[in-house]
Structure formats: structure tokens, C-alpha cells
């Protein structure tokens, strides 16, 4: 795809019609590496560079929340060497980006079964979350050991326990009760969901939160995804009519 016209597109973005919450399924690192006869880890390294770029872009366009699917509950099935390579990369990423996040007033947050991550990774995450805790301009949500079905099961368990101890009246359970017991509590719903690499599936990502998201699939492999394509997608998003089941005003 050619995104060379994006400099003008960037200027055309309407700041009042930008998504508040963008979520990305960053897929295709392995295929990117395979095409170059490289190791899958090399693909993940390049993928981390694309993350750096898109975090900066999202901040520049004043997007309030960016959620990145970095490691799923299903990804634990991958070979040990790939998993440990990814965990090492994550620690390196956190160390190298800490200052950028602080300077750009971005708060780091995680969603997923963080307790399953190696201790060294959890410590790196804690350190950056502490250093960025008071930042208000954007939240960067890293989905790590994340699975939407596990998230839903956890939500049900919490609500069930609260109904048993009387903290919640079952008859009073609303959509807000559910949303308040998900990892994403307090965040706006996802306005725009992007998946790279040409796969047309959700792969157990944010099932509740994408109920009314605009979805954009691109064949670009994640390491090749850059600001120009991001801007083109934001532009496309701004030209969609979000009706939410209603009839547009005439």
C-alpha cells in the first residue's frame, strides 16, 4: 500500500473526531522475519520498534488510550525459547522507553494475568508503572498474558463473590457493573480496533470492549506498520458514520 499522501492527510485529521481509545492486535512479526530468512525473535525486535513509533504517534494525535495486544493467554503454547525471547524484549523495551513515557506524560498500565509473567518482567513493569503513575495525557495499556475469556471469568467470579457477601444486589447488576469489573475499568470503550498481518479474527482480544468498535484490518505485517499507515486509518475512521443502531440525523 502507498501512504505517501499522508503528510496532507495528517493535516486533515479533525481533532474533534479522533478515537478516544485505539486497540491494536499487533500481528505478523513471525512472518516478517520468515520472509527475510531471519529468526522469529528478530521479527519481534522489529515489532518493538513499531510499538515505539505508534505510541509516539498516538500521543501526538491526543489519543487518550492505546491498548496493545502484546502477548495472549494462548501465546503460552509457543516454544519456550520464543516466550523467553519475548519476555527479555519486553524488559528491554520497558527500560528504553521509561524516559519517553515520563517525558510525554504517558501512564503505563497492564491488562491480563500479570501474575503468570516472570518475576523480573513484573518488577520492570512495576517500576515503569510507578514512574508514570501520575501521567494524565495518555494511558498505554499493554495486554500481557491477556485473554478476553479469562477476563470475563474473573469478572463473573468477582461479581458472584460480591453478591454472596451482600455488596452487590443481583437485581441491580447493569452493564456498568460488568464494565467496572473488567481489567479496563474506568476506560472508554474501544472506538477503533486495528489488526495487522491480514488475519481477519479477534483472537480472544477485548470481547466486551469492542462491542461497537470500528474495525480495520490491514495486510501490513506489524514490523512494517508506521505512522503514515496509522494516519491513513485514523482518516478512514473519521469518514465512517457511527450509528450505534440508530438512524443518522437527516
Residues labelled as active-site residues: 27, 75
Q: Does 197 bind ligand IPE (CB under 6 A)?
A: yes
C-alpha distances in angstroms, 96 versus 89, 136, 148, 195, 216? Answer: 10, 21, 29, 25, 30
d(CA 73, CA 56): 27
Q: Does 213 bind ligand IPE (CB under 6 A)?
A: no
Q: Give which of Mg ion, ligand IPE, none residue 141 binds (C-beta under 5 to 8 Å, depending on kind).
A: none
Q: Among 54, 67, 69, 183, which residue interacts with ligand IPE (rule: CB under 6 A)?
A: 69
Q: Give which of Mg ion, ligand IPE, none residue 203 binds (C-beta under 5 to 8 Å, depending on kind).
A: ligand IPE
Q: Give which of Mg ion, ligand IPE, none residue 231 binds (C-beta under 5 to 8 Å, depending on kind).
A: none
Q: Does 142 bind ligand IPE (CB under 6 A)?
A: no
CA atoms within 13 A on the CB side of 135: 25
User: φ and ψ at 166, to 5 degrees?
Assistant: 90, 0
Q: How far is the CB of 34 from ligand IPE (least distance, A)?
A: 7
Kindly indicate which of the ranges 70-78, 110-118, 150-158, 212-220 contains the residues binding ligand IPE, using the contact rule CB under 6 A: 70-78
Q: Among 23, 26, 27, 196, which residue interacts with Mg ion (rule: CB under 5 A)?
A: 27
| Alpha-carbon dihedral sign for residues 145, 146, 150, 155 | positive
- State CA 144 to chain mean position distance: 10
Q: Does 29 bind ligand IPE (CB under 6 A)?
A: yes
Q: Give which of Mg ion, ligand IPE, none residue 162 binds (C-beta under 5 to 8 Å, depending on kind).
A: none
Q: How far is the CB of 199 from Mg ion (least distance, A)?
A: 7
**Nearest residue (CB) to ligand IPE, 124 versus 220:** 220
d(CA 138, CA 20): 10
146, 113 contact by CB (below 8 A): yes
Q: How far is the CB of 37 from ligand IPE (least distance, A)?
A: 14
The site that binds ligand IPE (CB under 6 A) totals a number of residues, namely 18
Q: Does 26 bind ligand IPE (CB under 6 A)?
A: yes
Q: Does 229 bind Mg ion (CB under 5 A)?
A: no
155, 182 contact by CB (below 8 A): yes
Q: Among 31, 56, 91, 98, which residue interacts with ligand IPE (rule: CB under 6 A)?
A: 31
Q: Which residues are CB-neighbours of 150 under 8 A, at least 6 positions away?
A: 73, 113
Q: Does 227 bind Mg ion (CB under 5 A)?
A: no
Q: How far is the CB of 134 from Mg ion (least distance, A)?
A: 35
Site for Mg ion, rule CB under 5 A = 27
Amino acid at each position: 500500500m502507498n501512504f505517501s499522501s499522508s503528510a496532507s492527510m495528517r493535516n486533515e485529521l479533525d481533532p474533534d473526531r479522533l478515537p478516544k481509545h485505539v486497540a491494536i492486535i499487533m500481528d505478523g512479526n513471525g512472518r516478517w522475519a520468515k520472509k527475510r530468512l531471519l529468526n522469529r525473535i528478530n521479527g519481534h525486535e522489529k515489532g518493538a520498534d513499531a510499538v515505539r513509533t505508534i505510541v509516539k504517534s498516538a500521543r501526538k494525535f491526543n489519543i487518550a488510550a492505546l491498548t496493545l495486544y502484546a502477548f495472549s493467554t494462548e501465546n503460552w503454547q509457543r516454544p519456550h525459547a520464543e516466550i523467553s525471547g519475548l519476555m527479555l524484549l519486553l524488559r528491554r523495551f520497558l527500560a528504553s522507553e521509561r524516559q519517553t513515557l515520563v517525558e510525554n506524560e504517558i501512564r503505563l498500565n497492564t491488562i491480563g494475568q500479570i501474575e503468570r509473567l516472570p518475576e523480573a518482567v513484573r518488577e520492570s513493569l512495576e517500576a515503569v508503572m510507578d514512574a508514570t503513575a501520575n501521567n494524565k495525557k495518555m494511558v498505554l495499556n499493554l495486554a500481557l498474558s491477556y485473554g478476553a475469556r479469562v477476563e470475563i471469568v474473573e469478572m463473573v467470579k468477582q461479581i458472584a463473590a460480591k453478591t454472596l457477601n451482600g455488596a452487590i444486589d443481583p437485581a441491580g447488576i447493569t452493564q456498568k457493573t460488568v464494565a467496572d469489573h473488567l481489567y479496563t475499568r474506568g476506560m472508554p470503550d474501544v472506538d477503533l480496533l486495528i489488526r495487522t498481518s491480514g488475519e481477519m479474527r479477534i483472537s480472544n482480544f477485548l470481547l466486551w470492549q469492542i462491542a461497537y468498535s470500528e474495525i480495520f484490518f490491514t495486510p501490513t505485517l506489524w514490523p512494517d506498520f508506521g505512522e503514515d499507515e496509522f494516519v491513513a486509518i485514523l482518516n478512514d475512521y473519521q469518514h465512517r458514520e457511527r450509528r450505534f443502531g440508530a438512524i443518522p440525523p437527516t
